[in-house]
């Protein structure tokens, strides 16, 4: 029997360690020194670096990378189980070396970089000695890559990049920017003259590239290969978002259930009111469905490839956005007035849910992908009626029993009565 829903005891032990480590080390760090995990301040680094070292010592660092790309090769399924924990704690993905946007950029370097590029950028990124950002979306349009115009022109031994990018997450603090041009993916050190970071938005930057010159070896992958690289990068990123979202949903659900048992109204605890029970029951089944979809997708990637799992990944992406929105809203609602404040994580979780429906591709585009791919497995029916048109099927079935119906009057009468009854209901 090949279906298997349990976790290997050795890996479960690792997960138990991660759960405890996140609760006792990372949550306090986030509460007292928010943002420390990405800080260059030596005092904060002195707190954060030993935590990263503990993760390394435990063999849990940068789990997202396959063996052939330089990682531990645990695969996506184990990463999904890990992310179900990390996603609850703001800086945990950074402390475990699995944070976006670096993960996707490292994957690109590992898959397409030359040995020299890997040495120069992948190694320090893996060690988090440097940070990166991914500059793809442009102000005039994000969903349709055909609208992008940022371009690199070759000039002797250099590429000269001109264009404008929008919503480059963590661009202002990155050491290197992965810039998607119409004719290739380029790695641009942020300090390069001509890289101009606009004052807002603050976290997801608007960046102008004005005559930015980089040497020829800053082209990553083949010339004109940017769309292929982008697909590879975003595929992995989307499933990682979904894995972390399962964690967020479960956190909201735990809060919802705890409150449902703690609060009284109209003579009983609110968890005994049926409408509250409905919210709990709906949330339970939606989270379970999302979780199984994500784990199955991760398993499919491990057993085929990201490319072959595109339909499932797209389904994970819009489903996780919807489940996060609905579950965090219900949890917030059950919390009553307290839920509307920032005294619990629920308000931020609910406010963050629209981001999940837009970042790395809007829901509509992923839904179209799913529908288009699913429809490839179907064909139009012949003639006027659908394949499941019952009168035609019944006629076909009668042909199968023709001999029997001819020979046995009792059975023929039975079949006649059944047909009359079916017709009377049509």
Ligand X SMILES: Cc1cc2nc3c(=O)[nH]c(=O)nc-3n(C[C@H](O)[C@H](O)[C@H](O)COP(=O)(O)OP(=O)(O)OC[C@H]3O[C@@H](n4cnc5c(N)ncnc54)[C@H](O)[C@@H]3O)c2cc1C
Residues that bind ligand X (CB under 6 A): 101, 134-137, 141-143, 167-169, 204, 355, 358-362, 364-365, 368
Q: Count CA atoms closer than 13 A to 152's CA, side-chain side.
A: 28
Distances (CA, A) of 150 to 9, 208, 210, 392: 50, 10, 10, 58
Of 169 and 300, nearer to ligand X (C-beta) is 169
Q: Give the nearest distance from C-beta 304 to ligand X in angstroms.
A: 26
Q: Give the nearest distance from C-beta 381 to ligand X in angstroms.
A: 27
- In angstroms, the CA 272 to CA 400 distance is 55
Of 98 and 137, nearer to ligand X (C-beta) is 137
Q: Give the nearest distance from C-beta 77 to ligand X in angstroms.
A: 26
Question: 405 by DSSP, 3-state: which?
Answer: helix
Of 100 and 331, nearer to ligand X (C-beta) is 100
Q: Give the nearest distance from C-beta 84 to ligand X in angstroms.
A: 21
Q: Quick check: 15 and 86 in contact, CB under 8 A?
A: no
Question: 266 by DSSP, 3-state: which?
Answer: coil
Of 101 and 271, nearer to ligand X (C-beta) is 101
Q: Give the nearest distance from C-beta 307 to ligand X in angstroms.
A: 20
User: Tokens 């949550």 identify what position?
Assistant: 27
| List of residues 6+ apart from 275 with CB closer than 8 A | none
Of 303 and 368, nearer to ligand X (C-beta) is 368
- Structure tokens given for 88: 């609850």
Q: Give the nearest distance from C-beta 134 to ligand X in angstroms.
A: 5
Q: Quick check: 180 and 163 in contact, CB under 8 A?
A: no
- Structure tokens given for 366: 């992923």
Q: What is the largest CA-CA distance in the chain?
A: 94
Q: Count CA atoms closer than 13 A to 418's CA, side-chain side.
A: 12
- The DSSP symbol for 68 reads G
Q: Give the nearest distance from C-beta 254 to ligand X in angstroms.
A: 25
| List of residues 6+ apart from 227 with CB closer than 8 A | 145
Q: Which residue's Cβ has the minimum distance to ligand X? A: 142
- Structure tokens given for 43: 């005092």
Of 53 and 368, nearer to ligand X (C-beta) is 368
Of 286 and 360, nearer to ligand X (C-beta) is 360
Q: Give the nearest distance from C-beta 362 to ligand X in angstroms.
A: 4
Of 25 and 360, nearer to ligand X (C-beta) is 360
Q: What one-character-per-residue DSSP string does 350-369 give?
A: HHHHHHHTTTTS-HHHHHHH
């Amino acid at each position: 029997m090949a279906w298997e829903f349990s976790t290997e005891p050795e890996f479960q032990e690792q997960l138990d360690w991660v759960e405890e480590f996140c609760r006792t080390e990372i949550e306090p760090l986030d509460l007292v020194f928010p943002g420390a995990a990405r800080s260059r301040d030596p005092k904060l680094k002195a707190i954060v670096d030993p935590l990263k070292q503990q993760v390394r010592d435990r063999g849990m660092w940068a789990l997202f990378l396959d063996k052939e790309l330089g990682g531990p090769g645990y695969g996506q399924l184990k990463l999904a189980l890990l992310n179900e924990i990390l996603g609850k704690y703001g800086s945990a993905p950074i402390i475990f070396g699995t944070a976006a946007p670096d993960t996707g950029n490292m994957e690109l370097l590992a898959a397409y970089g030359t040995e020299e590029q890997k040495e120069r950028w992948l190694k320090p990124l893996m060690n988090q000695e440097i940070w990166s950002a991914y500059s793809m979306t442009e102000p005039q349009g994000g969903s349709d890559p055909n609208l992008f115009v940022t371009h690199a022109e070759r000039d002797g031994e250099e590429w000269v990049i001109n264009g404008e990018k929008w919503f480059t997450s963590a661009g202002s603090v990155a050491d290197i920017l992965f810039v998607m041009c119409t004719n290739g993916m380029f790695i641009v050190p942020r300090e390069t003259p001509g890289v101009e970071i606009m004052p807002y938005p603050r976290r997801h930057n608007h960046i102008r590239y004005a005559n930015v010159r980089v040497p020829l070896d800053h082209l990553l992958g083949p010339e004109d290969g940017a769309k292929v690289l982008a697909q590879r990068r975003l595929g992995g990123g989307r499933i990682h978002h979904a894995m972390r979202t399962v964690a967020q949903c479960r956190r909201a659900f735990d809060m919802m259930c705890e409150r449902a048992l703690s609060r009284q109204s109209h003579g009983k605890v609110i968890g005994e009111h049926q409408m509250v029970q409905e919210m709990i029951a709906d949330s339970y089944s939606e989270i379970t469905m999302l979780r199984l979809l994500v784990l199955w997708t991760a398993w499919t990637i491990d057993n085929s490839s990201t490319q072959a799992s595109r339909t499932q990944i797209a389904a994970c992406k819009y489903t996780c956005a919807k489940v996060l929105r609905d579950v965090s809203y219900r949890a917030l609602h059950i919390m009553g007035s307290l839920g509307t404040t920032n005294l619990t994580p629920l308000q931020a979780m609910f406010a963050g849910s629209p981001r999940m429906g837009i970042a790395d591709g809007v829901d509509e585009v992923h839904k179209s992908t799913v529908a288009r791919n699913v429809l490839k497995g179907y064909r139009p029916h012949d003639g006027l009626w659908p394949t499941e048109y019952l009168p035609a099927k019944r006629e076909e079935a009668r042909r199968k029993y023709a001999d029997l119906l001819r020979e046995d009057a009792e059975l023929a009468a039975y079949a006649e009565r059944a047909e009359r009854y079916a017709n009377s209901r049509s």
